[in-house]
Amino acid sequence: DAAGSHNAPTTHRRRINPHVDMCNHLKNIVEKMKLLPDSYLFHVAVPAKQAPDYNTIVKEPMHLQLLKDNIRECMYRSREEFMKHVDLMVQNSVLYNGAASPLTQIAEGMRQTANAEIAKVEKQLANLESKINPLLSDDPMVTFCCHLESVTQKMKTVPDSWPFYLPVSIKEAPDYKTIVKNPMDVQTLQKNCQEHYYRSREDFLRDVQLLHSNSLLYNGSESPYTATAERMVKVAAETLEAMGEQLDACEADIAQTPLSSIGNSPAPSAMNLEDPLGLVDAEMLSKHDHFKRPVNLADYHGTDDGGGDVLGLSTGGSYGRQLLDDLEASSGDDDDDDLDMDDD
């Protein structure tokens, strides 16, 4: 390449799923619990042959194998959820054997071990919990952008919205970026949310409106997919309005946080103050008479039209097929890392 680095080795690093990382920590804790003397009595379910009345007395059995099964299925999203089941083993033993029973003492020892092991990695687990459920984060930007990302998921529920999920393929529409100077799609919106670009609803909505204004510019006002984009903007605006109280609190906190402390600048598209809707120059606009007025969110009323071609290509054209192929390929790339949770 131009930098002369074509012979440099390439390292492919897999993304770390925080839920997988959490589960691996919890699995290690269970292994520590298994090492305690006489803990084998809690390794598997109580045999009905040895204690026929057990399941009559204990309504929610719990044992170490079941803990491991739950971890394998990524059931636990926090330390609290995991420890509830560890506590349950102690409570069940107290219920069936009594508080003074040696078996209850063994269960209590396992609980103390679990608490001690969690304390060793408490910071790591707290960080993972905030990534698994960003709404638990103390950072207002994390919480705010988590809310915005949920709005993009709502937008994807609009019928026939799939052509807006990914960037337009230049291979299939070579003139697209000549006409549309500020492309936007749902994937890019989600990426901007994840990178904490947006500091206000206005910044976010400005980019959302690009879905409609770009389709209006490229396809025209009569395109069914321009109507679909309009409905997507309407859904976004309505969802943001419904979340107003939470977002007000987040924005108030963000406003008190210096931009430099967040480590990200607003998205380039959101900072295009001269052309916030991604309009092109006057000469280009003069060729598209249908696009001479700015997009006004108050005008979004939604329609029932569906179908069509977002790029103005023929029905059943190759762009639609290419988008479907891209969606399938991208879904394959996002598979979570597998857990090595084989039992001993």
For residue 15, the model assigns a pLDDT of 53
Of 183-192, 261-270, 283-292, give the range with the top mean pLDDT.
Answer: 183-192
Please give the structure tokens belonging to residue 177. Answer: 């970026």
Lowest pLDDT segment from 24-33, 252-261, 278-287: 278-287
For residue 137, the model assigns a pLDDT of 61
**What crossing angle do the helices spanning 244-255 and 224-242 adopt, rounded to 10°?**
80
Q: Which residue has the higher pLDDT, 226 or 250?
A: 226
H, E, C per residue of the chain: CCCCCCCCCCCCCCCCCHHHHHHHHHHHHHHHHHCCCCHHHHCCCCCCCCCCCHHHHCCCCCCHHHHHHHHHCCCCCCHHHHHHHHHHHHHHHHHHHCCCCHHHHHHHHHHHHHHHHHHHCHHHHHHHHHHHCHHHCCCHHHHHHHHHHHHHHHHCCCCCCHHHCCCCCCCCCCCHHHHCCCCCCHHHHHHHHHCCCCCCHHHHHHHHHHHHHHHHHHHCCCCHHHHHHHHHHHHHHHHHHHCHHHHHHHHHHHHCCCHHHHCCCCCHHHHCCCCCCCCCCHHHHHCCCCCCCCCCHHHCCCCCCCCCCCCCCCCCCHHHHHHHHHHHHHHHHCCCCCCCCCCC
CA-CA-CA-CA torsion sign (169, 175, 156, 244): positive
List CB contacts of 87: < 8 A, sequence separation 6 or more: 111
Whether 108 has a pLDDT exceeding 60, the answer reads yes
- Return contacts of 13-17, CB within 8 angstroms, 24+ apart: 14/337, 15/337, 16/337, 17/336, 17/337
For residue 203, the model assigns a pLDDT of 95
For residue range 313-339, what is the model confidence (pLDDT) as tens digits?
333 333 334 444 444 444 444 444 444
For residue range 26-50, what is the model confidence (pLDDT) as tens digits?
999 999 999 999 999 999 999 999 9
Lowest pLDDT segment from 38-47, 120-129, 148-157, 214-223: 120-129
Percent of the chain with pLDDT over 70: 68
List CB contacts of 70: < 8 A, sequence separation 6 or more: 76, 85
Whether 342 has a pLDDT exceeding 60, the answer reads no
What are the angstrom distances between the C-alpha of 112 and each of 26, 83, 109, 126, 278? 14, 11, 5, 19, 59
Whether 292 has a pLDDT exceeding 60, the answer reads no
How much is the mean pLDDT over the chain?
A: 77
109 vs 107: CA distance, rounded Å: 5
Lowest pLDDT segment from 178-187, 230-239, 256-265: 256-265
Of 90-99, 149-158, 269-278, 319-328, give the range with the top mean pLDDT.
Answer: 90-99
Whether 277 has a pLDDT exceeding 90, the answer reads no
Lowest pLDDT segment from 6-15, 67-76, 155-164, 242-251: 6-15
Taking alpha carbons only, the member of 187, 183, 239 closest to residue 211 is 183
For residue 135, the model assigns a pLDDT of 59
* Backbone angle region of 196, left / alpha / beta, with phi > 0 → left and psi within -120 to 50 → alpha: left
